[in-house]
A = this chain, B = another copy of it.
Amino acid sequence: MIVTSKEIAKITGFSRGTVDRALNNRLGINPKTKQQILKVAEDLGYKPNLIGQSLVKGKTMSLGVVVFDLENRFFSQLLTAIEYRARDYGYFTYFTAANNNPQEEISCIDHLVNRRVDGIIVYSANRGKEFNDYLSKIRIPIITVCNFVSDELPFIGIDDVQAIKDAVENLVSRGYDYILYVSPLKKKHETVILSALEQRLLGFKEAVAKMKFRWEIIDVDRAFSGDASFHEYLGNGKTAFLCANDVIALHLLNRLKKKGIQVPEDVGLMGFDNIDVLGFVTPKLATVNYPVAEVGRKAVETFMDKLAGKQIENQVYLPHDILNGSSLRLRG
């Protein structure tokens, strides 16, 4: 069995208090005693039990992460960033996935609460009054990332509205005058449209109102349906598809290739997120860089500030930037 501090006390003949002083570098202990105790601990392979420690300290030194879905190619970068940054602070990370199911998301959070994690990072697909009410009852600090949930919850992400506007401006400045925005439009089955995607759609509409270009909004379902012909869009070669995320853009790219339509010669293509897969795809997809690792790190840092009693910003928008790959023509 694993040796406990109590047993070390018994073996060395010192009290539990003294053993604790030795083990945890607390002062008020004779260096000799300390040596002696540490030696025994070492020999017996003593490992502190953080469960016991958590109970008495009221802190578990752990964070919980909830992501709605793991198909999302984003999450591994997010999780990585969170894990490494958390460990810098001595924190560990409970990872849970909600299987794209709002109810399951709540159940994940519940369990994390039961385990008394010190903070919860939620990359949520959930929204709405019920979810808010639920979250507001939780006594553990929560931070939402990437998908905005509610004004009452801290949020870290980017300004998706502005980002799409920037993307459109980039397309227009490159001479594209017919822009097709491809996005999921309505929720189907259980699946909810992510708030980030909603923001992006909103951004596109704002761009439409502000700038001068021909446009259309296409539902992903239609874009990928068997009989969708894209030739109708290829009129003057100044057409570009702007996709609500990279995954959509990559699927579209595959379809275009299959139909013999060349990117960027016949049509421009732009995605959103800059998922790491893009490095393997040709042509290199133009996209909006989402600083997902920074979001993860910032989330952890915000917790640490909060746990240290500092005031934290309620909404943090990190800078995004436009990456022009080779899936767009040069100006012309």
Contact = CB atoms under 8 A, between A and B. Distances in A.
Interface string A275-287: 0010011100000
Interface in A1-17: 1-2
Interface stretch (A113-121, A142-150, A172-180, A304-312): A113-121
A197 to B, nearest CB: 19
Nearest to A281: B280
Contacts of A116: 49-51
A99 B84 contact: yes
Nearest to A283: B257
A95 interface: yes
Interface in A88-107: 92-97, 99
Interface stretch (A19-27, A31-39, A74-82, A182-190): A74-82
26 contacts: A1-B139, A45-B137, A47-B110, A47-B113, A47-B114, A49-B114, A49-B116, A50-B114, A50-B116, A51-B55, A51-B60, A52-B55, A62-B94, A76-B76, A79-B79, A83-B95, A83-B96, A83-B97, A87-B96, A92-B94, A93-B95, A93-B96, A95-B95, A254-B280, A254-B282, A280-B281
A95 B79 contact: yes
B92 A93 contact: no
A113 B110 CA distance: 24
A75 B112 CA distance: 22
B70 A76 contact: yes
Contacts of A139: 1-2
A254 B277 CA distance: 13
A281 B77 CA distance: 20
Contact of A93 (B75, B76, B94): B94
Contacts of A77: 70
A250 interface: yes
A54 interface: yes
Give 3 closest A-B pairs by Cβ, nearest first: A95-B95, A70-B80, A76-B76
A277 B80 CA distance: 18
A319 interface: no
Interface in A254-290: 254, 257, 277, 280-282
Contacts of A250: 280
A111 interface: yes
A60 B93 CA distance: 15
